[in-house]
Homo-oligomer: A and B are copies of this chain.
Amino acid sequence: MIDVKGWAAQDAKSPLKPIRFQRQDPGPKEVHIQVLFCGVCHSDIHQVKDEWGNTIYPCLPGHEIVGRVIRTGAQVTKARPGDLVGVGCMIDSCRQCEPCRAGEENYCEGPNSWLATYNGPMVPAAKAGKNTYGRDNTYGGYSTDLVVTEDFLLRIPAGIEPAKAAPILCAGVTTFSPLKHWRVKAGDHIAIIGFGGLGDMALKLAKALGAHVTVFTTSQDKIDSARAIGADDAVLETDKDALARFTARFDFMLSTVPQKHDLNPFVPMLKRDATLVAVGALEPMAEINHMQVAAHRRRIAGSLIGSLAETQEVLDFCAAHQITPDIELIPIARINEAYEHVESGDVRYRYVIDMESLRAAA
């Protein structure tokens, strides 16, 4: 057994606090990773506060994990001690359903769906009637050590700072996957709604794909920074006159807003047959005026993180194009304060926890 230190919530109302627990030693096909960095995703906060109504406590979040392999099981072939690796939102899937066989584990249709890095599996045994993975609750990356099957490891390419690679594992792939799936290409006019950790990555990735990018934000002070990061245009969502300029303008729109929001101001901006994909919110969306959808055969869609292959692809894409998220490195002791800033949108643009601060703690 491995003695592990982490930070977890014991209930929906309390802040995260230090916790000590044990992880199993790695099995034949598993690796033991020393966690170096872990990004802070808005989902972590939703889960900790039980805002999706499915949290199992203790809840130990973290799914943007960069670490160093320190031990490997006897049959491991894909990693060696010393390797710099990443772990994203998934640590396993059923491997048998059609999506899994097609390499789209993030849409796993197995009885428990995919095994989330924390608070997993996605469909708990109580609901599915069976437990494919033998676990009712997984503990994530806000911890010193992780044990994971080699099949769900990502390679961190040389040329990306390890701390900056962390947000690519969720914020990066969550935005990259729909950009690729809906074939965003050079010259397309696209919109990014919401400019936080996902918006920052979406903008950089879309620009690297050659798109003309307009950012919509609710923060006046993000207008300038979005332009500085590369946006061709940046618009305050509350400026109705400005919004009217964009009727039927976009080939593709990506909403990264991490909570229920009103898409009605944006739907008319879609060209005929174009799609608005919301990736940030996983709750009921405000009522959508269907006249605006039908009038130009528009589409509203969702997309959930990305596959293992897409995650590796976006890591490599970021290395090749020298794309990294804008991050603020924090010690674990500042995590509760960081949550407050994330909730108020007051972060530029992703907090990453330096896990050395946890290892060094008493």
Contacts and interface: CB of A to CB of B under 8 A. Distances in A.
A156 to B, nearest CB: 27
Contacts of A289: 283-284
Contacts of A98: 272
Interface stretch (A85-93, A136-144, A291-299, A326-334): A291-299
A244 interface: no
Contact of A285 (B248, B272, B287, B302): B287
Contacts of A104: 272
A179 to B, nearest CB: 13
Contact of A99 (B113, B272, B303): B272
A262 to B, nearest CB: 11
Contact of A300 (B52, B272, B296, B301): B301
A252 interface: no
A282 B290 contact: yes
A104 B296 CA distance: 10
A299 B272 contact: no
Given A107-B296, A109-B296, A293-B302, 16 more contacts: A98-B272, A104-B272, A107-B272, A113-B295, A181-B297, A275-B299, A278-B293, A279-B294, A284-B288, A290-B302, A293-B300, A294-B302, A295-B302, A298-B301, A299-B299, A299-B301
Interface of A: 52, 98-99, 104, 107, 109, 113, 181, 248, 272, 275, 278-279, 281-291, 293-304
